[in-house]
A and B are shown apart, each in its own frame.
Chain A
Amino acid sequence: MVSIKPIRDLIIIVNQRTEIMKRIFLILIGILIALTMNAQDAKAILQKVDDNMSSRNRVFESTMTIHGKRSSRTITSRSYAEGEKQSFTEYLSPARDQGTKMLKLKDQLWIYSPASDRTIQISGHLLRQSVMGSDLSYEDMMEDRKLTDVYGVKIVGVETIEGRKTTILELIAVLDDVAYYKRKMWIDAERFIPLKEELYAKGGQLLKRTTLTDVKQLQGRWFPTTIVYKDMLKEGKGTEFKITGIKFDQELPAYIFTKAALKK
């Protein structure tokens, strides 16, 4: 006579294992859905930021204060920008920089110096040099790809910055030729503008921090008018960029974004 007890036990064990497997599967599906939703949410936030910060064109006047170890100096300029691809900047003061003009057309950058009456194209390693001694490099100005095209994004937390609730996004590069492998952005949860950004090296070292303040409503959109760039490896207070006046979606003459405009 064959005992059926071992067979029954086996069936029970198999049933239990199947149940566990089912649960694990459901949990994994749940995590995957949560991650996808997180990524979608994060991407949507980033898209809103892009929409809020970008415009057909803009004209603005600004001051850039470079804080050195011993002293600080302020440079004022007027800029015209069309999308992220084209921009033209004319430096207005101090006297030694007055008349210097900078033109960016897609991935090319030219600088006109009135002292030598020459136009120089900034390329290769020159792009890595600092702009007027600030914490910004020419290359930082040249970045014109959309963050959503270059980075994979996820929400990693929430934080309150100066009374504003922010969502923290973590951006990890999905392409190889990206200057900063990782970015962290603190996005105002209501206005969808970045209030803080950190740029990291591949190894995880914090390289630069940008703080955006004085958020104002301009032509129906929220816009930060003071940006402090800080090279975190260097001593000093960083570079303060203040927008003193800005107008969006203006009628800009086409000649502004030509090399001929540099010598005008």
Chain B
Amino acid sequence: MIAFKLAFRNLLGAGLRTWLIVAVLSFAYVVILFYNGMLSGWDRQGRRDTKEWEIGQGQLWHSAYDKYDLFSIQDAHGPVVGEAKKFTDKGKLTPVLIVQATAYPQGRMQGVLLKGINPDQQILKFPSSMLHQDGQEINALIGKRMALTTRLNKGDKVLIRWRDKDGTFDALEVKIADVFNCNVPAVDNGQIWIDLNTLQKMMDLPGEATLLVSGTDEINENVGPWIYKDTEFLLAELNQIIHAKKGGSMVMQAMLLIIALLAIFDTQILSIFRRQKEIGTYIALGMTRAQVVGIFTVEGATHSILATILGALYGIPLFLWLGIKGITFGVDDMGITMAETIYPYYSIGLIITTTLFVILSATIMSYLPARRISRMKPTDALKGKIQ
């Protein structure tokens, strides 16, 4: 206890120097918390949005389908029959047919994926009800990113050319019934959504689909020829990006922390050099060398305690404000699921881990120079002789 009392007294006595170190350390502490909180927020929102808009509770793929291989699409379709049909009829699965096509917005040629979905499906948040046909016109939906790249707006008509199952060209005009706003580029970029039945007729593939989106956790294995893909598999891309971002951010966080810790290290060296008489006195009064090392280590580590208190003073209101307002990044065109506005998420685990990490690093950095004390001769120390 005496060590803490002494540490606080000495630190407060040091005045501005202490507060400068504490300020830098608290800044590093707050930035580490903020950045990790932001990544956690992105991760949580990304997972939620991807499930709501794209993958549901998992997907069942046609055996030839490979999400990452566009060339697989041509042959990746099969009839939804048997058990899969039963689940579909109960509304627990919704089929999606994917076809490669070419769109001609304003006479420009653009490769697109034409996707068919049941307008009455309830599994995805996707506004599929807009796909109900009114009259002869085929209604289509596109996302905000697709609208931006094709310069198409609600009510516009666009000519689409595709090949049916035999490879024969066909073309027709579709009407953009709506432009939806979602954070998942995988259902937006380069895609045009139309009614499933219409697409099946266009392709001459009645009752067929490329994949089935599950709306229930009851389905967790292959259903007939359909291969089950769980949410972790489908979210792997997002997980990898978050993981990579966390890795990249560690460099910046480490730099900030090193600056603060160097200041502590430097202060400790200076203290031990300038306070040799004090060290000699402690030993003369009966303290062991280890106890004196402890006093100096605690003194250095106390910087981090003050830093966490200071960080909390301005960090808590800042984080609360950011938690309500969020951080807006604008429209994402990077092809990854990212909300326009991210609301950082600070878990108890994150706060405790970060606090312990900062305190532990500061303690180690304080201990390293303090080890010199154990090699001092008390008599020389009392005399203030440089050792």
Q: Which residues of A contact B108 (CB under 8 A)?
A: 234-235
A130 to chain B, nearest CB (A): 9
For A125, what are the chain B residues with a Cβ–Cβ distance below 8 Å?
Answer: 70-71, 74, 100
A251 close to B (CB within 8 Å): no
Contact B172 A176 (CB under 8 A): no
Chain A residues with CB under 8 Å of B100's CB are: 125
- Alpha-carbon separation in the docked complex, A236 to B169 (Å): 21
> B104: CB under 8 A from chain A?
yes
B164 surroundings in chain A (CB, below 8 A) = 202
Which residues of B (68-100) have their CB < 8 Å from a CB of A?
70-71, 74, 100
Instruction: For the complex, give the distance between the alpha carbons of A207 and B70 in Å.
Output: 24
The answer to whether B104 touches A201 (Cβ under 8 A) is no
The chain B residue sitting closest to A177, CB to CB, is B166
Q: Are B171 and A176 in contact (CB under 8 A)?
A: no
User: CB distance A124 to B71 under 8 Å?
Assistant: yes
- Chain A residues with Cβ under 8 A from B161's Cβ? 201, 205, 207, 233
Is A207 a contact partner of B168 (Cβ separation < 8 A)? Answer: no
- A173 near B168 with CB under 8 A, answer yes
Is the contact region of chain A dominated by helix, strand, or loop, or is it mixed?
A: loop
Find A202's partner among B107, B159, B168 (CB 8 Å cutoff).
B168
Instruction: Please indicate the chain B residues that have their CB under 8 angstroms from the CB of A181 in the complex.
Output: 168-170
Q: How far is the CA of A160 from the CA of B122 in the complex (A)?
A: 59
In the bound complex, residues from chain A placing their C-beta under 8 Å from that of B70 are 125
Does B13 reach chain A (CB closer than 8 Å)? no
Complex Cα–Cα for A180 and B104 (A):
18
Q: Are A203 and B170 in contact (CB under 8 A)?
A: yes
Residues of chain A contacted by B172 (CB below 8 angstroms): 203, 205
Q: Which residues of B contact A84 (CB under 8 A)?
A: none
A156 sits at the interface (CB 8 A): no
- Report chain B residues within 8 Å CB of A207: 161, 169, 171
Chain A CB within 8 A of B270 CB = no
Q: Which residues of A contact B159 (CB under 8 A)?
A: 205, 233
Q: List B117-150 residues whose CB lies under 8 Å from chain A.
A: none
* A233 and B169 form a contact (CB under 8 A): no
Q: Are the CB atoms of A202 and B71 closer together than 8 Å?
A: no
Chain A proximity of B70: nearest CB distance (Å): 7
What is the distance, in angstroms, from B175's C-beta to the closest C-beta of chain A?
A: 16
- B76 CB, min distance to chain A CBs, angstroms: 12
Q: Could you say which residues of chain B place their CB within 8 Å of the CB of A201?
A: 161, 168-171
The verdict on B167 contacting chain A, using a C-beta distance below 8 Å, is yes
Query: B169: nearest residue on chain A (CB-CB)?
Result: A201
A173 cross-chain contacts in B, Cβ below 8 A: 168
Q: Across the interface, name the chain B residue whose C-beta is closest to A234.
A: B109
Does A178 sit at the interface, judged by CB under 8 A? Answer: yes
The total of chain B residues at the interface (CB under 8 A) is 21
Question: Which residues of A are found within 8 Å of B168, using beta-carbon distances?
Answer: 173, 176-181, 201-202
Q: Are A205 and B74 in contact (CB under 8 A)?
A: no
Chain A residues with Cβ under 8 A from B170's Cβ? 181, 201-203, 205
Question: Which of A128, A179, A233, A234 has its CB near the most chain B CB atoms (within 10 A)?
Answer: A233
B169: contacting residue among A126, A180, A235, CB under 8 A: A180
B151-165: CB near A (< 8 Å → 1, else 0) gives: 000000001010110
A203–B173 Cα distance when bound, in Å, is: 11
CB contact list, A93-134 vs B, under 8 A: 124-126, 128
Asked if B169 contacts A177 (CB within 8 A), the reply is no
- Collect the chain B residues with CB atoms within 8 Å of residue A205's CB: 159, 161, 170-172
A178 to B, closest residue via Cβ = B168
Per a CB cutoff under 8 Å, which of B74, B109, B167 touches A179? B167
CA distance A126 to B69 in the complex (A): 12
User: Is B74 touching A124 in the complex (CB atoms < 8 A)?
Assistant: yes
Is A50 an interface residue, CB under 8 A from the partner? no
A128 to B102: give the CA distance in the assembly, Å.
11
Distance in Å from the Cβ of B114 to the closest Cβ of chain A?
14
Chain B positions 307-354 with a Cβ under 8 Å from a chain A Cβ: none
Cα A16 to Cα B149 in complex, Å, equals: 71
* Chain B residue at minimal CB-CB distance from A176: B166
Please state if B109 and A177 are interface contacts (CB–CB under 8 Å): no
Contacts A177-B166, A203-B172 aside, 10 further interface pairs with beta carbons under 8 A come to A178-B167, A178-B168, A199-B169, A201-B170, A201-B171, A202-B170, A205-B161, A207-B169, A233-B107, A235-B108
Of all A-B residue pairs in the complex, the 8 with the closest CB atoms, nearest first, are A235-B107, A205-B171, A202-B170, A176-B166, A201-B171, A233-B104, A201-B170, A201-B169
**A-binding residues in B (CB < 8 A):** 70-71, 74, 100, 102, 104, 106-109, 159, 161, 163-164, 166-172
Interfacial residues, chain A to chain B (CB-CB below 8 A): 124-126, 128, 173, 176-181, 199, 201-203, 205, 207, 231, 233-236
A selection of 22 A-B contacts at a CB cut-off of 8 Å is A125-B71, A176-B168, A178-B166, A178-B168, A179-B163, A179-B167, A180-B169, A181-B169, A199-B169, A201-B169, A201-B170, A201-B171, A202-B170, A203-B170, A203-B172, A205-B159, A205-B170, A207-B161, A207-B171, A233-B109, A233-B161, A234-B104
